[in-house]
Amino acid sequence: MTAVRAVLFVPEMLVVLALPPLLMSVIAKTKAWFGGRVGPPWLQPYFDLHKLIQKNAVYSKTTTWIFRAGPIISLAALLTAATLIPVLSNDSLLGFSGDIILLAYLLALGRMFTVLAAMDTGSSFEGMGASREVTFGAMSEPALFLAFVVMAVATKSLQLSEMIGPKLLPEWQIAGPAMILVVGALLVVLLTEACRVPVDDPATHLELTMIHEVMVLDHSGPEFAFITYGAALKFTLLGSILVHAAIPHPEGFNVLSPPLRVLELGGLAVLVGAIESAMARFRLNRVPMLIAGATVLSAIAVVLVLMRRTV
């Protein structure tokens, strides 16, 4: 049974693994369009990854094995998370009841090793980036969890694929306002976790203002490829949670659903690109305000959804 299921999931997983760089490309193209430029070719992220894989890695003498393990463990954690999140269909490969906790801490594990690898280099810039990453990560976690609580209450399930599956559809009619708040909170969480504007600027060139990019300055070659790919994969995974929560597909929609999901993820990438083009990143001390705002949105959504339950 599980073996058959696993085989059935092979094509979907392949698409999921191949998709992330393309989404990055969509964001880059959107930003280029807003700036009146043509932008890099669609397949540029794939070329970059290919080039990086072929290079040799350079290690500083001050680093230890943690520095080498960092990118690998982060990517492994994200790949494991990919088996828990429904991306294209309404089902996930290894979903079980309570997998949201595992999912949240897989993301945290990946972040922890990126941070440790950054601290291992002993560079003051990387330490600064690590401290910011951990601060914002810790702040966005309550927002994510409260959003999960809303969906868990709404669908009476603790399995992510059911929480954001077809059961969520009636909830949009019962507690529409609450769901809108959840989607807003998830969008902020996505922007924070994936290090996009207005929280972090992935294209910035000054170490002092970077968050994610500054932590990976010392990585090179295949390991940098892992990190780049991991960042794109994280965007795809969190993005698909957002898309599934925002547009639940009804059951028995199997053939049309995956291509639609790809389009929706593309739409999300365009939206993120548009946000990046339309606004500047926040001052670093304004960012906690944004994330706290997302937490508050989720908290109000919890109250609304609980109230609807008990009445």
Partner 1 sequence: MLQSAIDSILVLAVLLNLAMLATSRMAACIRTFALQSLLLALLPIAVGLRHETIPGAHAFVITAGAVGLKVFLIPWILLRVLRTGEIHREIEPFIGFTASVMLGAVIIVASFAFAKRMPLPTEAPTDLLVPVSIATLFNGLLMLVSRLKAITQVLGYLVVENGIFVFGLLLLEQTPVLVELGILLDLFVGVFIMGIIVYHIRREFDHMDTHLLDALRES
Q: What is the binding site for partner 1 (CB under 8 A)? A: 173, 176-178, 180-181, 288-289, 292-293, 295-297, 299-300, 303-304, 307, 311
How many CB atoms within 10 Å of residue 126? 22
Nearer to partner 1, 10 or 307 (CB): 307
Within its chain, how far is the Cα of 248 from the centroid? 18
CB 177 within 8 A of CB 91: no
In whole angstroms, how close is the CB of 296 to partner 1 at the nearest point?
4
Nearer to partner 1, 2 or 310 (CB): 310
Residue by residue, DSSP assigns 49-104 as: HHHHHHSPP---TT--HHHHHHHHHHHHHHHHHHTTS-SSSS--SS--TTHHHHHH
Nearer to partner 1, 49 or 302 (CB): 302
In whole angstroms, how close is the CB of 260 to partner 1 at the nearest point?
25
Nearer to partner 1, 121 or 295 (CB): 295
In whole angstroms, how close is the CB of 188 to partner 1 at the nearest point?
14
E strand map for the chain: none
Tokens at 29, concatenated: 């193209």
Place of tokens 């507690």: 175
In whole angstroms, how close is the CB of 287 to partner 1 at the nearest point?
11
Nearer to partner 1, 124 or 285 (CB): 285
In whole angstroms, how close is the CB of 299 to partner 1 at the nearest point?
5
Q: What is the DSSP letter of 123?
A: -
Cis? peptide before 198, omega within 30° of 0: yes
In whole angstroms, how close is the CB of 166 to partner 1 at the nearest point?
21
Nearer to partner 1, 178 or 237 (CB): 178
Nearer to partner 1, 50 or 309 (CB): 309
Q: How far is CA 56 from CA 133, 224, 225, 227, 229, in A?
A: 27, 10, 11, 15, 17
The dihedral sign for the CA sequence 91, 92, 94, 100: negative
In whole angstroms, how close is the CB of 288 to partner 1 at the nearest point?
6
CB 30 within 8 A of CB 270: yes
State how far the Cα of 81 lies from the Cα of 47, in Å rounded to an integer. 25
